Amino acid sequence: MRNLLLTGTIDPSKFNNTMTTLTDVGARLSQYESALTWWIRKSDFDNIVFIENSGYAFDEQRFADMAKKRGKRFEYLHGTPHFEETLAHGKSYGEIMLITEAIEKSALLKTEKSFYKCTGRLIIKNINRILNKKYSSDTVFTGIPSDKWVFTWFFSVGIEFYQKYLRDAYLYVDDQNGIFMEHVYYKKLMRHLDLIDTFSVYPNVDGVSAGTNSQYHSGRLRLLYKNIQLKRGFFGVK
C-alpha cells in the first residue's frame, strides 16, 4: 500500500499562534480541505491519514466518503495538543509528536512498513512521478546539507527506522533558540547514511507557509533549476 500522513493545526490560537503568521482559522481550514481534496483525487496513495492537534471540529466524513468513491481509505485522528510543551519548545515539538502519535494510533498504518509525510496544507504536484521512482530505502529525504538542514514538509520514512532513530527528536528541538525539527532530523540522519536515500526528483511543492505566510511554489524554470541542483547534490542528504 502507498501511505500518506498529513499533519495539521487548524486553529493555531490554541497554541498562542506560536511562530505562526498565517493565523486566520477560516483560511487555514480552506487550505487543509483543498489539499485533502487534491491528495484524494490526484495522488496515487491508497491510504491517507490526517492527524490534527487543535481540537477543531473537522468534517472527517466528507473526506472518508470522497476517498471511498475513489477506492481509497481516509482516516482522521485527533492528535494530543501538548499545549505546554509546544509553547515552550515551538511548533517542531508538536509536529514530531503528531507523527509519533499517528504511528501509534492509526488503523491504516498499523500493518504498514512505511509512509510519506507532508504538511497538511501543502500538495506535491509531481507526487505520482516520485511514487514511481525506485529508491534504495523507504526513508527518503531532501534538504540543504550546507545548512545542516533537511526538509520536513515532505519526506518518506520507514516506520522501523522512525521508531529507532527519529522518535526521540522532540527531546532536542528548541524553536525559540533556532534548533528546529529540520536541524535535529538532519543530525540524526547523518548517523545512518547507509539506511537512507535522497529523492531523485525535486518535490514540486505548492501551498502557503504558515510561519511566513509566503507561497511555496516553483515555476517551470525554477523547478528545472532545482532538479539540476538536486542532481549535483545540493539538495542531497548523502
Please give the Cα distance from 37 to 31 (Å, whole number): 10
Cα angle 8, 198, 106 (rounded to 5 degrees) comes to 35
Burial of residue 196, with CB atoms counted within 10 A of its CB: 0-12 exposed, 13-18 middle, 19 or more buried: buried
What is the CB neighbour count within 10 angstroms for residue 132?
A: 9
Minimal CA–CA distance to 142: which of 235, 5, 238, 4?
235
3-state secondary structure of 108: coil
Domain boundaries, the chain: 3-231
- Candidates 3.30.300.30, 3.90.550.10, 3.40.640.10, 3.40.50.720; CATH matching 3-231: 3.90.550.10
- Using one digit for the tens of pLDDT, what is the confidence trace for 60-113? 999 999 999 999 999 999 999 999 999 999 999 999 999 999 999 999 999 999
| Distance (Å, whole) CA 119 – CA 70 | 22
Contacts of 131 (CB under 8 A, 6+ apart): 2, 43, 44, 45
Helix (H) or strand (E) holding 143: strand 143-144
Lowest-pLDDT range, 7-21, 108-122, 203-217? 203-217
Angle at 143 between CA 80 and CA 16, to 5 degrees: 35
Q: What mean pLDDT is reported for the chain?
A: 95
pLDDT band, residue 205 (cuts 50/70/90): very high
Give the pLDDT mean for 144-171.
97
